[in-house]
């Protein structure tokens, strides 16, 4: 991060202090923690809001954009969230279905009451790929990051059209942009191998790159600014997870609802054994096996 002038962002007549951002590899459970926050009193958390997504995706697609321009990148993000967090009569019309479901929103109108908002946050997909400018924009931000068994994550990614869309030819220029955190391309060997990889291997490389990026972030940030959760604990121990988040944020947070009305059921840990063919599981291990074992996911 690059230290710069401190900016005060005022949204809905209130200063934004210690906003909460939830990050993780694709399909790793960031949305679950965001749902928990969004349904807790005093929080206004967005998931894929129309003002934020284009900016986040632009930074994710072209990681060179913020390099050497920390203040400009931070300003763009601050402006995007200044719009995204506004509470108006039609502020939720452009939100994703996931965000509307998390807010239990049926019909029109805002998902929160403006006077009740004390804390802001976001868990947009690909948010982790602009963490540096995000922390430049909000130096007092609090970060929740989620890690999941890479095999389960890959199985979920293969079933998610939005994730697979990043692999379409021309969607990301891996030749001009290197290294490329979103694709998990860190070494020249990664870039050389990428065009010939199967979707399974590409998903595994994305997961591997994200986990490495989260490890570097954890090494850089103090414990009072970042905390890491495992998807498996979030699903199996929702009350304990909520207690940790509440302590970390110094604000009461609801537990994740394993079977929340209007939301898809949570995938059980280890579902990759049914979802992946043996050959696919072997591909994941070939690409990310070392990282799987390093973070505690053994066979």
The two structure tokens encoding residue 8: 């005060």
Q: How far apart are CA 22 and CA 16, in angstroms?
A: 16
Q: How far from the centroid of its chain's Cα atoms is residue 217's Cα? A: 13
- CATH hierarchy code of domain 10-294: 3.40.50
- Counting beta carbons within 10 angstroms of the beta carbon of residue 243, is it exposed (0 to 12), middle (13 to 18) or buried (19 or more)? middle
Q: In what order do the strands lie in the sheet with 142-147?
A: 43-46, 119-122, 20-24, 142-147, 226-230
- Cα Rg for the chain, rounded, in angstroms? 19
pLDDT on residue 103? 62
pLDDT at 230 over 60: yes
The residue-averaged pLDDT of 236-262 equals 87
Q: Are the CB atoms for 127 and 18 separated by under 8 Å?
A: no
Most confident of 3-7, 175-179, 224-228: 224-228
Tens-digit pLDDT profile for residues 24-64: 999 999 999 999 999 898 999 999 888 999 999 999 999 99
| DSSP label of 40 | S
pTM to 2 decimals?
0.91
Domains in the chain: boundaries = 10-294
Q: What percent of the chain has pLDDT over 70?
A: 89
Q: Higher-confidence residue: 8 or 143?
A: 143
pLDDT on residue 260? 57
Cα pseudo-dihedral 55, 208, 157, 231, rounded to 10: -90
Most confident of 25-39, 166-180, 209-223: 209-223
Tens-digit pLDDT profile for residues 60-105: 999 998 888 889 999 999 999 999 998 877 666 667 767 667 666 6
């Amino acid at each position: 991060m690059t230290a710069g002038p401190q900016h005060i962002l005022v949204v809905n007549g209130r200063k934004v202090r210690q906003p909460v951002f939830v990050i993780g590899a694709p399909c790793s459970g960031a949305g679950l923690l965001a749902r928990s926050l969004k349904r807790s009193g005093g929080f206004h958390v967005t998931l894929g809001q129309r003002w934020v997504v284009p900016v986040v995706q632009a930074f994710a697609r072209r990681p060179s954009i913020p390099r050497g321009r920390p203040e400009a990148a931070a300003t763009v993000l601050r402006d995007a969230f200044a719009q995204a967090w506004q509470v108006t009569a039609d502020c939720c019309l452009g939100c994703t279905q996931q965000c509307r479901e998390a807010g239990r929103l049926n019909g029109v109108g805002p998902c929160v009451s403006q006077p009740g908002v004390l804390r802001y946050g976001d868990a947009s997909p690909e948010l982790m790929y602009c963490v540096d400018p995000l922390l430049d924009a909000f130096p007092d931000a609090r970060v929740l990051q989620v890690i999941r068994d890479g095999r389960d994550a890959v199985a979920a990614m293969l079933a998610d059209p939005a994730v697979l869309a990043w692999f379409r030819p021309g969607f990301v220029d891996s030749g001009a942009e290197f290294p490329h955190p979103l694709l998990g391309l860190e070494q020249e060997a990664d870039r050389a191998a990428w065009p010939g990889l199967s979707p399974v291997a590409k998903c595994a490389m994305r997961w591997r790159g994200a986990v490495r990026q989260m490890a570097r972030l954890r090494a850089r940030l103090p414990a009072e600014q970042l905390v890491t959760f495992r998807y498996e604990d979030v699903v199996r121990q929702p009350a304990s997870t909520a207690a940790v988040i509440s302590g970390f944020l110094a604000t009461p947070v609801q537990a994740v609802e394993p079977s929340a009305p209007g939301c898809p059921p949570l995938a059980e840990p280890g579902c990759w054994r049914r979802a992946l063919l043996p050959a696919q599981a072997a591909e994941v291990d070939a690409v990310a096996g070392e990282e799987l074992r390093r973070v505690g996911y053994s066979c």
